[in-house]
């Protein structure tokens, strides 16, 4: 009997030890739960950052936890635009610049372009000139504003003021540049790039592009074997051959070192972030009753210490941009330095007033919430990497730069050396798909034959099936000469087309009505003003909430 009991005890202990070892093995971060194989083994095999916790907040950004909200205007629509009817939307968590992009930030961008692509060289001149803000936006036929025309962009007195005179296209290019510079720095810190090479080694033939580094590292600046001065806190995940030599010295997406791209926020993201609903406790606010980025229904503060002070920089009334001398209502007449007013509950400054801001969306009067109520965005144009005949990606050289002539005659570079050439997707990506079927989806359910009545007789020249009938100006360069052909057709009925983008928020030049985050206006994507600026956003990967990655049992 004792022998039987002893055997049972031994069996139970063995099973417990086995179960414990299995539990440890299956939950080990360095072994696969699929195969049991070792992860990050120096002898080879699957290389993966199993120590990754969560996405680090990139420079200049603050975290915006996603959620649901009422997009659009619930207050009275005194303008009767009918372009922002309320609808319920859900937004994924993301990051956004705490302030608008400032003159100093944009000047850093211009300085980099000037050093890498010297405008003194004829074949680079258009790159720098295409990135320059339009300082002439400050001029007025009956106003004296030359001091801003000459000083606003470059004078340090305006360094922390929001940059203006930047078109939507230029804002997108700034965001792309910023993405590469941040990832370049991340790789340097982690030991994958030589220290200070981003300054000492960079040239027009040797620049860093995130996409090129990931897809073809040997053809990218930084895609070399000179790895020195490793002081980063992150591990280097490298693969070795049978002799123990490093056979892969390049960072990959699996390392977790690459931040998602900086970009313009979508209109839905911008409006959600501007409302600042992180401390939401009121049902009326949830249903869209919040009128401003701050609490309350008025533009003046009700707090005892600053009671009566304006909460934003906007036009008080006719001929009143900043109050009486010595007793200024909002502390500014034109723009004001960023962080001059209190942030909203997300920690974002100037989401009302100062400057209006570009967002990513192509403008349409109607938001099609019946088709989509999750991360709503109109403007998707899907592309893919162009390939050479041998199957490698096609990296742009100085001889491959393509320049576009905009409607206003300005010339900009469509791509830069070191980047991967992009081409529209084709049937290889769309065949039998139900979620998208072509490269350009801007007009989906809005103007195409499948979703709208065919409008005709818009043009004198003949019929068209376009939903909107905007002028079509033709500006081009022929034999080195700029040719401008303005569309003066009498049959035009709209300014809306696929090249107009939404801008949000009021500015120093706008009345109080436009401070409501629900308001929306549009402007040509290749033109600029003295009252539209921008800020960048970044998608979040991983968990919805920050520091809440652990699953509760």
- Would 6 be classed as within a structural domain? no
Q: Please, are residues 364 and 540 in contact by the beta-carbon 8 Å criterion? A: no
Residue 307 domain-assigned?
yes
- Find all residues with CB under 8 Å of 408, minimum gap 6, and list them: 475, 526, 527
Number of domains in the chain: 1
Instruction: Please give the span between the terminal C-alpha atoms of the chain, in angstroms, as a whole number.
Output: 41
Q: Which of 61-65, 285-289, 324-328, 526-530 has the lowest mean pLDDT?
A: 285-289
Does the structure show a pLDDT above 90 at 52? no
In a domain, 191, yes or no: yes
Three-class secondary structure of residue 274 per DSSP: helix
Of the candidate ranges 301-305, 471-475, 529-533, the one whose mean pLDDT is the lowest: 301-305
Distance, in Å, from the CA atom of 61 to the CA atom of 53, rounded to the nearest integer, reads 18
- Domain annotation covers residue 460: no
Q: What is the CATH number of the domain that holds 311?
A: 3.90.1580.10
User: Using a CB cutoff of 8 Å and minimum separation of 24, what contacts does 278-284 make?
Assistant: 278/65, 278/345, 278/346, 279/345
Residue 14 has pLDDT above 60, yes or no: no
pLDDT of 447 over the 90 cut: no
Residue whose C-alpha is closest to residue 419's, from 224, 220, 145: 220
Question: Residue 54 domain-assigned?
Answer: no
- Mention every residue, 6+ apart, whose C-beta is less than 8 A from residue 450: none
Put simply, whether the predicted model's pTM sits higher than 0.75 gets the answer: yes
CA separation for the pair 540, 548 (Å, rounded): 14
Q: What angle do CA 218, 220, 226 make, to 5 degrees?
A: 65
Residue 87 domain boundaries: 61-455+470-539
Residue 35 lies in a domain: no
pLDDT band at 227 (very low <50, low <70, confident <90, very high): very low
The DSSP output letter for 260 is P
Helices 103-116 and 168-189 pack at an angle, to 10 degrees, of 80
Given a contact cutoff of 8 angstroms between Cβ atoms, the answer to whether 133 and 164 are in contact is yes
Q: Which of 45, 520, 531, 170 is nearest to 321 (CA)?
A: 531
- Contact assessment for residue 33 and residue 26, using Cβ atoms and an 8 Å cutoff: yes
Q: How far is CA 185 from the centre of its chain?
A: 19
Residues in Cβ contact with 124 at an 8 Å cutoff, skipping those fewer than 6 apart: 117, 118, 204
Q: How far apart are CA 464 and CA 492, in angstroms?
A: 12
- Report the sign of the C-alpha dihedral through residues 501, 502, 505, 511, in that order: positive
The answer to whether residue 198 is domain-embedded is: yes
Residues 6+ apart with CB under 8 A from 491: 457, 458, 459, 460, 469
Among 262-266, 379-383, 450-454, the range scoring the smallest mean pLDDT is: 450-454
| 22-37 pLDDT tens trace | 544 445 678 888 988 8
At 552 the pLDDT is: 46
Q: Per the structure block, which two tokens stand in for 279?
A: 């401390």
| pLDDT at site 302 | 62
Report how far residue 275's alpha carbon sits from residue 517's, in angstroms, rounded to the nearest whole number: 7
Decide which of 409 and 468 is more confident: 409
Could you tell me if residue 22 is inside a domain?
A: no
- Of 350, 303, 356, which is closest to residue 330 (Cα–Cα)? 350
Cβ count near 183 (within 10 Å): 26
More confident of the two residues 3 and 153: 153
Contact 188, 198 (CB under 8 A): yes
């Amino acid at each position: 009997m004792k022998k039987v009991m002893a055997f049972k005890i031994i069996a139970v202990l063995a099973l417990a030890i086995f179960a414990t070892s299995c539990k440890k093995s299956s939950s080990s971060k360095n072994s696969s739960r699929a195969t049991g194989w070792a992860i990050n083994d120096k002898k080879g095999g699957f290389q993966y950052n199993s120590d990754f916790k969560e996405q680090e907040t990139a420079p200049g950004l603050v975290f915006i936890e996603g959620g649901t909200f009422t997009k659009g205007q619930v207050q009275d629509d005194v303008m009767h635009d009918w372009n922002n009817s309320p609808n319920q939307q859900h937004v994924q968590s993301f990051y956004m610049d705490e302030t608008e992009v400032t003159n100093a930030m944009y000047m850093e961008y211009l300085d980099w372009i000037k050093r890498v692509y010297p405008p003194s060289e004829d074949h680079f001149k258009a790159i720098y000139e295409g990135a320059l803000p339009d300082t002439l936006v400050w001029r007025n036929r009956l106003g004296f504003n030359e001091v801003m025309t000459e000083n606003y962009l470059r004078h340090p007195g305006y360094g922390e003021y929001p940059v203006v005179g930047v078109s939507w296209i230029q804002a997108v290019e700034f965001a792309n540049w910023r993405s590469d510079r941040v990832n370049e720095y991340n790789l340097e810190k982690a030991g994958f790039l030589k220290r200070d090479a981003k300054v000492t080694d960079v040239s027009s033939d040797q620049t860093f592009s995130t996409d090129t580094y990931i897809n073809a590292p040997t053809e990218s600046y930084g895609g070399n074997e000179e790895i020195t001065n490793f002081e980063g806190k992150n591990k280097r995940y490298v693969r070795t051959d049978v002799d123990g030599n490093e056979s892969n010295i390049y960072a990959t997406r699996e390392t977790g070192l690459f931040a998602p791209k900086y970009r313009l926020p979508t209109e839905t993201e911008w409006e959600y972030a501007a409302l600042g609903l992180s401390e939401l406790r009121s049902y009326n606010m949830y249903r869209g009753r919040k009128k401003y980025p701050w609490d309350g229904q008025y533009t003046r503060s009700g707090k005892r210490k600053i009671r009566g002070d304006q909460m934003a920089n906007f036009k008080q009334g006719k001929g009143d941009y900043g109050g009486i001398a010595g007793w200024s209502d909002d502390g500014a007449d034109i723009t004001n330095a960023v962080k001059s007013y209190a942030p909203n509950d997300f920690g974002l400054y100037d989401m009302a007033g100062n400057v209006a801001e570009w967002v990513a969306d192509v403008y349409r009067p109607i938001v099609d919430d019946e088709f989509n109520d999750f991360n709503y965005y109109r403007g998707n144009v899907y592309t893919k990497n162009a390939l050479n005949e041998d199957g490698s990606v096609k990296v742009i050289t100085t001889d491959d730069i393509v320049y576009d002539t905009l409607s206003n005659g300005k010339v900009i570079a469509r791509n830069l050396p070191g980047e991967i050439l992009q081409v529209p997707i084709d049937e290889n990506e769309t065949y039998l798909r139900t979620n998208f079927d072509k490269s350009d989806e801007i007009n989906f359910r809005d103007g195409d034959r499948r979703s709208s009545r065919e409008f005709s007789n818009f043009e004198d020249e003949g019929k068209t099936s376009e939903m909107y009938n905007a002028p079509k100006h033709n500006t081009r360069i022929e034999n080195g000469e700029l040719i401008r052909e303005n569309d003066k057709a009498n049959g035009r009925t709209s300014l809306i087309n696929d090249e107009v983008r939404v801008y949000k928020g009021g500015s120093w030049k706008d009345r109080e009505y436009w401070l409501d985050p629900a308001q929306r206006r549009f402007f040509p994507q290749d033109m600029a003003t003295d009252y539209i600026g921008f800020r960048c956003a970044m998608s979040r990967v991983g968990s919805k909430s920050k520091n809440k990655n652990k699953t509760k049992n």
